Chains A and B, each alone.
Chain A
């Protein structure tokens, strides 16, 4: 079975300091990996995605993630947190099975940014 584990349910950083949100995945197939962001009372927005091209993926708002197959990780980083980054972040893995695409969401990491 495919799975994704977000190692921290809550992360708190000070404004201007780096952000690290951790995600590990388990997949028997070649996965596609995504990070989505959800601001309070809003829908989900795609931040970035890995689909077997470059292992370092750049997304919106200066977020990046690096796909490390040896560590089965896809951690999300940002050099300097901004107040507007306060939101919940979801790591997502997709794969193909039986001709259809399957998807699994992580349980989410809430990012708090302290002024």
Chain B
């Protein structure tokens, strides 16, 4: 199993540009989430999904969109990038109801917006 994969690993955008961060998992997990990591703030939840076709907002959703058309994929879209979105982005997946609640994280995408 590849686990959780994210592409790209690094990205530089200009203010106002749009892009999509890709996330895929091959563990058939129902739950998937996007986090951003900023110094001194831990990980903050952007959006999450509890299954295909179902998404909801997390703690810091503004400026980001998500969709979940398949169990495997959970892309994160930045519609108009802003310097405040410079961060490291992590995708995670989890299988509910297993008694584990462990999240599996991707390697991250480091995004810089100039």
Contacts and interface: CB of A to CB of B under 8 A. Distances in A.
Contact of A42 (B35, B44, B107): B107
Interface residues of B, number: 24
B41 interface: yes
B22 interface: no
B43 A94 contact: no
- Interface residue SS majority, chain A: strand
A44 B42 contact: no
Interface stretch (B64-72, B78-86, B95-103): B95-103
B42 A43 contact: no
A43 B96 contact: no
A32 to B, nearest CB: 5
Contact of A101 (B101, B106, B107): B101
Interface of B: 31, 33, 35, 40-45, 50, 56, 90, 92, 94, 96, 99-103, 105-108
